[in-house]
Amino acid sequence: MAAKKDIFSGSVKISQAKGLRGEISVPGDKSISHRSVMLGSIADGVTEVTGFLEGEDNLSTIGAFRSMGISIDAPGHGKVVIHGKGMDGLREPEDIIDAGNSGTTTRLLTGILSAQPFFSVITGDSSLRKRPMKRVVEPLIKMGARISGRKGGSLLPLAITGARLKGVYYKTPVASAQLKSALLLAGIYADGETAIEEPERSRDHTERMLKLFGAYVKTKGNSVIVNSTKRLNGCKIKIPGDISSAAFFVAGALITSGSELLIKDVGVNPTRTGVINILKKMGGSIEILNEREASGEPVADILVKSSRLKGVEVNWQELLSAIDEFPIICVAAAFAEGTTRITGAGELRVKESDRIAVMSGSLSSIGVKNKEEKEGITIEGLGTIEAEGGEVESHGDHRIAMSMAMAGLKCRKGVSISGAASVDVSFPGFFKTLSGVTVL
């Protein structure tokens, strides 16, 4: 076993390994799982979902819609059945909606709640209550929403009084799938047409799924338009494996000698494959096999072999479709030859943790030289040399925990991770999966 869990401290130690070999599947896509529950709840009829990610964030979304009167069966093993009540079928919740640690639940749900004929309040845990909401609140108010919150609507809790919305044209200050999706979900309720233009194209799962449920959606370049919608239709959804979860194993296989790993049924939506492009740019041996489509999303198998990586420059445009994968890209860079410089990552300072600061500190803790920048990081790669290893803290951030677990495979003393249970947010069973393919 590469992973040893301390049930008293909640820490896990990952030991040095010779490689990752075999075949795995990863949990369903987190983003698509959220959206399947949201749209299934406001559709007419039954929506059957397979491959659903049963992580804490997605369970927060299920809990939110159950509190608004939606019957949702979740028997396990990735299957969820949503008994939708139509676009006007949600009822006023009797208590505050708790989104836990999920920014996606909060921001997308705010768009839907803005159009409902009732009062609601949404909050989250201590981490989520520090994360910015004004970027979503301001354009929704332009659509006619009535939203108030701490610091002028900048922070949770948000109190939302339903209103009749009107379609708008809105040019977003940054490319953000959560912002865009909140406006699209409000837009299907709004009178007229809602048009959103981004400076760059963000992930498009909401647009694809709205079409699957029967809404009118038109995309052109970095712009998307939705019209007022009277009805969505329940459907069957097969959710592919989350490329963000697969990325940890892709990088882990690349940096450890003797690796050959096949990752089955992974979503390869082109707005999400930036991490594959960056790791290939670094010299990674990554093959995309058996490409196909499921429920409007492209899917494939990914074959990874150990590789000699080199340091590269990663700019904000390359990082846009790999923003969630910043921590694991940092780990790959730590074991590449030469220097890697990542820029344009300022958005990561307001995620589950300040991921720039946390990754800089974590790499330093295991003996990797780096320099934290205002909007990025510069990493001096070790090449084929192992790092010393040591102890790190997850800071409650699932992506930090899993990234540093992969770093442990390449450290002489391994890596002990405190707060490792945070992986359950997006990858329940992560350490078991890692142990199953680790060659010691």
Same-domain check for residues 232 and 252: no
What is the CB-side half-sphere exposure of residue 289 using CA atoms within 13 A?
11
**Separation of alpha carbons 335 and 312, rounded Å:** 12
Domain that holds residue 309: 3-28+240-439
Q: Are strands 297-305 and 415-418 parallel, antiparallel or unpaired?
A: unpaired
- In the chain, what percentage of residues exceed pLDDT 70? 97
Q: Stretch 106-116: mean pLDDT, rounded?
A: 98
Q: What angle do CA 352, 358, 361 make, to 5 degrees?
A: 170
Same-domain check for residues 217 and 330: no
Q: Stretch 357-380: mean pLDDT, rounded?
A: 96
pLDDT at residue number 75: 85
Same-domain check for residues 91 and 9: no
Q: What angle do CA 137, 140, 146 make, to 5 degrees?
A: 80
Q: Stretch 405-434: mean pLDDT, rounded?
A: 95
Question: What is the per-residue pLDDT across 19-63, written as a single tens digit (0 to 9) for each?
Answer: 999 999 999 999 999 999 999 999 999 999 999 999 889 999 999
Question: What is the per-residue pLDDT across 267-316, written as a single tens digit (0 to 9) for each?
Answer: 999 999 999 999 999 999 999 999 999 999 999 999 999 999 999 999 99
Same-domain check for residues 308 and 322: yes
Domain end call among 175, 204, 238: 238
pLDDT at residue number 180: 98
Domain count, the chain: 2
pLDDT at residue number 3: 54
Average pLDDT, the chain: 95
Residue for token digits 């992506």? 399
pLDDT at residue 6 greater than cutoff 60: no
Same-domain check for residues 227 and 302: no
Which secondary-structure segment (H or E) carries 65? helix 56-66
pLDDT at residue number 10: 74
Same-domain check for residues 373 and 435: yes
pLDDT at residue number 350: 62
Same-domain check for residues 316 and 230: no
Instruction: Indicate which residues carry an active-site annotation.
Output: 324
Q: Stretch 4-22: mean pLDDT, rounded?
A: 77
Same-domain check for residues 100 and 187: yes
CA distance readout (Å), 322 to 87, 177, 230, 266, 420: 33, 12, 35, 15, 23
Q: What is the CATH number of the domain that holds 258?
A: 3.65.10.10
pLDDT at residue number 198: 97
pLDDT at residue number 36: 98
Amino acid sitting at position 420: A
Domain end call among 211, 238, 265: 238
Same-domain check for residues 325 and 220: no
Domain end call among 214, 238, 262: 238
Question: What is the per-residue pLDDT across 309-350, written as a single tens digit (0 to 9) for each?
Answer: 999 999 998 988 899 999 999 999 999 999 999 998 887 776
Q: Residue 10 burial by CB count (10 A; 0-12/13-18/19+): exposed, middle or buried?
A: middle
pLDDT at residue number 344: 87
Same-domain check for residues 220 and 294: no
Same-domain check for residues 119 and 261: no
* pLDDT level of residue 352 (50, 70, 90 thresholds): low
Same-domain check for residues 361 and 304: yes
Out of 100-104, 188-192, 361-365, least confident range = 100-104
